Amino acid sequence: MALHRLTSITLGVPDLAASAAFFNDFGLVGGSGGADESRWATRDGGEQVELVEAPHRQLQRLGIGAEDSDDLAQIGARAEQAAAEIVESSAERLALVEPATGLLVEVSVAPAYAAGPSTHTFNRPGLEPERIDVPAKSVLTDQPVRPSNLTHVVYSSPDQPTTLTFFTDVLGLEISDQIPGVIAFARCGEVHHNVAIQAGPVAFPHHIAFEVDDVDDVVRGGQHMVDVDPNRNMWGVGRHAIGSNWFWYLREPGGTFVEYTADIDRISSQDLYRPKDWQGHEFLYSFGPPPPPEFLEPADLAELIAAS
């Protein structure tokens, strides 16, 4: 696959300072050593979140990484054939407009993540212990959780089929799983999904997810966030069925849900992946607490519709 990861997003928020405080507590690192509240970096992905002031939450830009300039040329050719709007085209960057929502999608030549091995250890019955004579590191550490990378974005579109077609037929993402007409999980690399397009009355970012090393970090990160402010809690801890990932969702001050996630499925080839026929609540989760109503119908949805 020519594409291999998300590079960055631009997220519109109504209160820049409040959102900056949230992402600082979440474990991202502010630009210029924390002095720049508009740019936030993950441990392995570099600066991946740009915050800009907006009257309400908006996904203004989505960045995707390609392997080389030939990949950009192929995407550009498909865009021309589909009559997609091209804002900028060069050997290193291709900027397109998604036709149904006006979302700016920027595809650029980008390196792959370079993540070191996790230092967490696990003892399992019947196997040689990985840790002996010492408590688990996650119990002993006082270091904050540092998310590795921006791993996926779930985006609502009032014309889900058109938006999905743009991401698959023009950009080249592959669908891993979908509930037809409701939501489609698409990937631009081995991770089960990097972009999910869901049907909704208006375009808005439903949630963004950051991958951490393991479930210990999901729980430690989420617990820290609600210890600072209990109103941040949205949904978790649990494990999704689609994608298999552990999750804990928090409520960012602008209204976007932000997820700690770990152990998400990897797919080496679409021909080898055999998803099951998801039944009942598996559409949303495998186990954990039931999702709160706000997860399905955000509290600010009427405001977003009116603003559109």
Domain total in the chain: 1
- The tens digit of pLDDT for each residue in 109-129 reads 999 888 777 778 889 999 999
Any bridge partners for residue 88, and if so which?
95
Structure pTM?
Answer: 0.96
Query: Is the residue at 134 inside a domain?
Result: no
Q: Which of 26-30, 84-88, 177-181, 226-230 has the lowest mean pLDDT?
A: 177-181
Query: Is the residue at 122 inside a domain?
Result: no
- The tens digit of pLDDT for each residue in 214-248 reads 999 999 999 999 999 999 999 999 999 999 999 99
Query: Is the residue at 243 inside a domain?
Result: yes
Q: Identify whether the C-beta of residue 108 lies closer than 8 Å to the C-beta of residue 63.
A: yes
DSSP per residue over 22-91, as a string? HHHHHT-EEEGGGTEEEEEEETTTEEEEEEEE-SS-EEEEEEEEESSHHHHHHHHHHHHHTT-EEEEE-S
Q: What is the pLDDT of residue 246?
A: 98
- The tens digit of pLDDT for each residue in 140-167 reads 998 999 999 999 999 999 999 999 999 9
Examine the pLDDT at 98 and tell me if it is beyond 80: yes
Q: What is the pLDDT of residue 237?
A: 97
Examine the pLDDT at 31 and tell me if it is beyond 90: no
The pLDDT of 43-62, averaged and rounded, is 97
Q: What is the pLDDT of residue 118?
A: 78
Query: Is the residue at 50 inside a domain?
Result: yes
The pLDDT of 46-70, averaged and rounded, is 97
Tokens of 40: 């936030």
pLDDT over 90 percentage in the chain: 84
Report phi then psi at 39, rounded to 5. -125, 130
Q: What is the pLDDT of residue 1?
A: 63
Residue 212: exposure state from Cβ atoms within 10 A (0-12, 13-18, ≥19) = buried
- The tens digit of pLDDT for each residue in 173-208 reads 999 999 988 999 999 999 999 999 999 999 999 999
Q: What is the pLDDT of residue 2?
A: 85
Residue 134 DSSP class: S
* Domain residue limits at 157: 3-112+145-269+278-307
Query: Is the residue at 135 inside a domain?
Result: no
For residue 296, the domain's CATH number is: 3.10.180.10
Query: Is the residue at 180 inside a domain?
Result: yes
Examine the pLDDT at 7 and tell me if it is beyond 80: yes
Q: What is the pLDDT of residue 274?
A: 86
The pLDDT of 71-94, averaged and rounded, is 95
Query: Is the residue at 186 inside a domain?
Result: yes
Element (H, E) at 17: helix 16-26
Examine the pLDDT at 270 and tell me if it is beyond 90: no
Examine the pLDDT at 46 and tell me if it is beyond 80: yes
Residue 170 DSSP class: I
Q: What is the pLDDT of residue 23?
A: 97
Q: Are strands 149-157 and 195-199 parallel, antiparallel or unpaired?
A: parallel
The pLDDT of 76-101, averaged and rounded, is 96
Examine the pLDDT at 68 and tell me if it is beyond 70: yes
The pLDDT of 91-102, averaged and rounded, is 97
Tokens of 308: 């559109």
Query: Is the residue at 11 inside a domain?
Result: yes
Examine the pLDDT at 34 and tell me if it is beyond 80: no
